[in-house]
Structure 1
Amino acid sequence: MEFSVEPPESPAVPRDAATVILLRDTERGLEVFLQRRVAAMAFAAGMTVFPGGGVDKRDADASVAWAGPPAVDWADWFNSTESVARALVCAAVRETFEESGVLLAGTSDAVVADAAKFSGAREQLVSRELSLADFLAHNDLTLRADLLRPWAHWITPTQEKRRYDTRFFAAALPEGQHADGATTEAESSGWQLPSEALADAEAGRSTLMPPTWHTLTELAGFETTAEALASERKVEAIIPTLRREGDKVRVIVGDE
């Protein structure tokens, strides 16, 4: 069936989602953690992406022990309700742990240095046997919202059957922790310079969605994690549009 660039009469309602841009400093420069999704995924199959996923209804649990900017601040930054903002931050922490093994939690004044010891709970989070709130409570852990920074807000084009209302966060890899590829959703994972990830896409060695490409282009302008996290961000919703040019469909971002 031919893909139409015309918006449908009843577009799918986008699902709230969170994506986390993990950063680290190396001798080569600022690196970002990326994963290539397996070809069997229903959304973004085979694409190279940042860790992330849809919000679980339990992510809005107000009992989560929390350190850092309160949900009301995140609601202001992401132009959402306080409940949605809380769920987005919790989803960001949960999805990052599920997909990369990086845990943005600890105590009010310290961050977990070895997240591998929670591997069993990680599997239970993936299977939804365990909620983030229960996991944190059972291990006397506090969600560290102060480790996250608001970065961007992307909404899937109206023509797509699966749509996501995704808030992008940025975070530095906590000292002592390691990001891995131990997830069934990715066929490969690893750290790259943003410029190298863009070069791979331009050479056809990988495929990037517009939000990923745009974000990598922004990150290529920073030399360190601290510089990226300290940059001023004005988060506004971006909905790419589709334009047919001959037998191809072009994705347009902004006023291009």
Structure 2
Amino acid sequence: MRELPDDLVLPPGVVPDVAPEVPVTPRDAATVMLLRDGDAGVEVFLQRRVQGMAFAGGMTVFPGGGVDPRDADASIAWAGPPAEWWAERFACPPETARALVCAAVRETFEESGVLLAGPSADAVVADTSSYLEGRRALVAREVSLARFLGDEGLVLRADLLRPWANWVTPVEEPRRYDTRFFVAVLPGGQRADGWTTEAADAVWQSPSDALADWRDGRRMLMPPTRVVLSELAEFAGVSDVLVAPRAVEKIVPKVVRDGDEVRVVLP
């Protein structure tokens, strides 16, 4: 595990001046680092959240969000490692693990248009433009992931995901998430877009360039994003990321106040 840099100071207002008397129970969430090979190596898909959002407004993040209770629907056609395999990696019940994987697929499709699913267990859709109405219905919560995939005759491809990390929002914050990080490769023929009301812009960028933008003040990064980008920057190509051994541990940073500055440290 990397140490967080000394100059990782949170922007004003991210953490309230007074912490809740009783820590808020974290909500399960999933986020996906979409990867592709660029001319200079690994590139990752990043979105800058809209300013003023209740959580991480203005921050550069990966696609993702909270688990919908309907994500645990056992009727979803599934290909790849079973829920029990994911449960071992993320140290949670199989029902939770299944919902996390489904949330990762759903949120990635909602926020980037990339769909990790296919007409069979060994195929993946190459063009998602025909699923635009289904995407809109998912965003509006008019349909569940199970309903969308069932109506379109699609199989969720859990084998296209890899577990990467598990970060929990510090106890000092009023909105907390127990977020599992996944990596996935952009499927051939698909494209990631910025069509989401939650993002002000979206871009493919190498991890090292994204970190340089952070150091120069052009991006704001939450501590988990900063650490994960540092990890990804060490790989020469996407194939190296996919075969890298990972031991996922639950990380709960602490908030430390230094005068007017708020820093995040690892326990």
Q: Same fold (TM over 0.5)?
A: yes
- TM-fit CA distance, 1:26: 1.3
Distance 2:39 2:193 in 1: 20
Alignment of 1:123-142 (within 5 A): 123-142=136-155
Partner of 1:171: 184
Matched, 1:102 2:114: yes
The 5-angstrom pairing of residues 1-256 of structure 1 reads 3-4=16-17, 8-106=20-118, 107-254=120-267
The structural deviation recorded for 1:9 is 3.3
Give the structure 1 partner of residue 3 of structure 2.
none
8 Å CA contact retained: 1:74, 1:82 = yes
The code of the aligned residue for 2:218 comes to: R
Structure 1 residue 227: deviation in Å?
Answer: 0.3
Secondary structure class of the residue paired with 2:262 = strand
Q: Deviations over 1:102-160 (max 9, x none)?
A: 00000211111001110110000000001100111111100000000000000000000
Q: Do the aligned partners of 2:168 and 2:178 also contact (CA within 8 Å) in 1?
A: yes
**What is the CA–CA distance in structure 1 between the aligned matches of 2:60 and 2:17, rounded to whole Å?**
24
Question: How far 1:4 moved relative to its partner?
Answer: 4.4
Deviations 1:39-65 (A, max 9, x none): 131100000000000000000000000
Q: Residue 151 of structure 1 aligns to which amino acid in structure 2?
A: W
After superposition, the C-alpha distances for 1:57-101 in whole angstroms (9 at most, x for unaligned) are 000000000000000100010000011000000000000000000
Q: What CA distance in whole angstroms lies between the structure 2 residues aligned with 1:3 and 1:33?
A: 30
Q: Is the 8 A contact 1:153 1:167 kept in 2?
A: yes
Residues 106, 145 of structure 2: 8 Å contact kept? yes
User: What amino acid does structure 1 have at the position aligned with 2:100?
Assistant: L
The 3-state SS of whatever aligns with 2:165 is strand
- The TM-score, its normalising length taken from structure 1, stands at 0.96
Percent identity among equivalent residues? 63
Contact 2:67 2:99 in 1 (8 A): yes
CA contact (8 A) 1:201 1:208 kept: yes
CA apart distance, 1:28: 1.6
Question: 1:252, 1:134 → 2: CA distance?
Answer: 42
**Corresponding letter in the other structure for 1:202:** R
Q: How many residues align?
A: 253
Does the aligned pair in 2 maintain the 1:4–1:159 contact within 8 Å?
no
Q: Which runs of 5+ in 1 are unaligned?
A: none
Q: Which amino acid aligns with 2:226?
A: W
Q: Distance in 1 between matches of 2:41 and 2:179?
A: 27
- The alpha-carbon deviation at position 35 of structure 1 amounts to 0.0
The alignment partner of 2:226 has SS state of: helix
Name structure 2 gaps, 5 residues minimum. 1-12
Distance 1:196 1:93 in 2: 26
Tell me which moved more, 241-250 or 79-88. Answer: 241-250
* 1:187–1:132 distance in 2 versus 1, CA, 3 Å: same
| Cα-Cα RMSD | 1.3
Local SS of the residue matching 2:241: helix
